[in-house]
Chains A and B, each alone.
Chain A
Amino acid sequence: MQVTLKNITKTYGNNVQAVKPVNLEINQGELIVLVGPSGCGKSTILRMVAGLEDITGGELYIGDRQVNHVDPADRDIAMVFQNYALYPHMSVAQNMGYGLKNRGVTKDEITQKVRDAADILNLSEFLDRKPSQLSGGQRQRVAMGRAIVRNPSLFLFDEPLSNLDAKLRNQMRIEIKKLQRRLGVTSIYVTHDQVEAMTLADRIVVLNGGVVEQVGTPSEIYNNPASLFVASFMGSPPMNLINLAKPVTHKNDKNELKLVNKLFGSQDHNNIQIGIRPEKVQYTYDASENSLPFTIDYTEELGASRLMHGKIADQSFILSDTSETEVKSNNIHLSFPAEALYKFDNETGRKIEL
């Protein structure tokens, strides 16, 4: 089912505009991830789509039907909550079948559908248990089961994995992705975790302060961030940003800033920030014409890669090295491939095309 958000806004009673006009078209079968820091309005948007929150302005379509004022139960959606929101006094089967029961589906049909859903989610042996007798991952699956058993036209996920431990989270992430592919149901997924967003999404919507910063596929978002915010939010470790307009007092920092300025040839327009992904930075032990001296303050060993932290012109800078040999000296020289550089306008925060 196609979902369309047209100039959707949300203003709370105290005149705080939590969501500024959002336009989004979600295609049939697509998995859209809304990502952003807490308070960016991502959950509010999801809850407006679900019908749990009133829409202040704009139009919301699920399929061809405008659903601004339709009851959540009649929107043909299913939602998975962060804390699962399972009914504690009902068994797994009852939890999954409750929505069907309320819709007047016959008992036999409910049993059949619950069994099918349980098969898909490997829950068959737990159908008679209470949620309190299940592990976190199993509860998560029951919550998923409750969603899929109704065969809705839209799935909504509200940070469904944040209550799980890291290992289980990775596993469930893959399961959700597989399940969504298999069922082909349009989905909206909210998370604050950018890794989750990158791995799950067909398209990512990056939100900040109630404004959509960028909409794009994971690789577009990563390789072509539209704004400073997107650049610094997506990617772990985040993109290095050097603010050329930063006032520095130390003589050494001043020199470095001048050097950076020269390297990037940005004399014409100083109020910018230069960005480069940590893994794109190259280093040598010897100085060359286009290199910048760099002192490693400390190193983080991650196994597959090594993060080296330091400072350029008093601004923190990270480079990531995947080679197996350790860096021999703490004083190295960095060079920046021109094609890996980004420029952002300090005032608007938007990217400047090079």
Chain B
Amino acid sequence: MTDMTSENPVILSSKEKPKAKKLKLSSIIDHSILIIGSLFMLMPVLMAFTTSTHDHVTIHKEGLMLSIGDQFAENYGAAMFEKGGFTETVDGLTMLMNSLILGIGFAVGKIVISVLAAYAIVYFRLKFATLAFWIIFTTLLLPLEVRILPSYEVVHSFGLSNTYTGLILPLIASATGTFYFRQFFMSVPDELVEAAKIDGAGPFKFLIDILVPISKTMVAAIFIIMFVFGWNQYLWPALITTDETMFTIIRGIRQIILAYAEGNNIPEHGQAMALAVIAVLPPVLIVVFFQSWFVKGLVESEK
């Protein structure tokens, strides 16, 4: 008995010491990894911002800058409001507008199409519903890049080049969205449909009155993802728009550097960086804005 009581504290103290030490070490490692990781992600953005506040000669001479320069207002003003490009008809504001139309049209279009597709697959006794779903799903293997030539051919022959329709429509079929909504709809209890049936709601009413409102957090999540995805489209807009007034901001960044470089001038790096920073802002704002909304939806936890 005496042995045991004297032994116990010894075991405890010898056990506790290395444990505390180990915990400290591992948390240091964990945090270093996190800090390095976030620096890795943040530095390019930060450098883009700081560089954008210098004039183009400094940048051309000294490369990317980490200090803050004095050209903030000039660069941003020029990037936003100065007409540029070959035809001198497009400014940053127009491009921002175009990107916004593409981003919102892309996201809304994708949501509408995938809600309808998922609704059909989940709630209607179609003969080959599962097959149809898997066919939709396998199109994930065929991104736009694979079918870009035929897509271009079709859209162009419809006379949709240089239109918003041509910019958005070919992109809105979404296997991912359909998949997410299908999973969500399948988790909605059957009794809800049955109660609605007894309450005299037809298929369309059920979709609008009940299914869409209870999917709103889902819609918000997909909207965020799809807006950013649409905003960042480069290849398709580059192909389908040749009219500079239809350019998106992502394309415009490159165009500014090119246009100025043509005439033996020093490229306007400062303005390009300013445009890049502006281009990053809307997706960030969308995420921030929808996130608060998102959390609210989660906390209420209906269903």
Contact = CB atoms under 8 A, between A and B. Distances in A.
Contacts of B216: 89
Contacts of B199: 73, 98-99, 102, 146
Contacts of A79: 194-195, 198
B200 A99 contact: yes
Interface residues of chain B: helix, strand, loop or mixed (majority): helix
A20 to B, nearest CB: 24
Interface string A17-56: 0000000000000000000000000000000001110000
Contacts of B150: none
Interface of A: 50-52, 71-73, 77-79, 81-83, 85-89, 98-99, 102-103, 130-132, 146
Given A85-B191, A85-B192, A88-B214, A52 B197 contact: yes
Interface stretch (B54-62, B169-177, B239-247, B295-303): B295-303
Given A130-B302, A132-B302, A87 B192 contact: yes
Nearest to A99: B199
A86 B201 CA distance: 14
Contacts of A72: 194, 197-198
Contact of A102 (B189, B200, B300, B303): B200
Contact of A85 (B189, B213, B301): B189
Interface of B: 189, 191-192, 194-201, 205, 209-210, 213-214, 216, 300-303
A102 B192 contact: no
Contacts of B303: 88
A51 B200 CA distance: 12
8 pairs of A and B residues whose beta carbons are closest in the complex: A88-B302, A85-B191, A73-B200, A99-B199, A102-B200, A85-B195, A89-B213, A81-B191
B200 A103 contact: yes
Contacts of A52: 194, 197-198
Contacts of B205: 102
A197 to B, nearest CB: 22
Contacts of B194: 50, 52, 72, 79, 81, 85
A99 B198 contact: yes
Contacts of A71: 197
B210 A77 contact: no
Given A73-B200, A79-B198, A87-B192, 5 more contacts: A52-B197, A79-B194, A83-B189, A87-B196, A88-B303
A77 B200 CA distance: 11
B198 A50 contact: yes
18 contacts: A71-B197, A72-B198, A73-B197, A73-B201, A79-B194, A79-B198, A81-B191, A85-B191, A87-B195, A87-B214, A89-B213, A98-B201, A99-B198, A99-B199, A99-B200, A102-B199, A102-B200, A130-B300
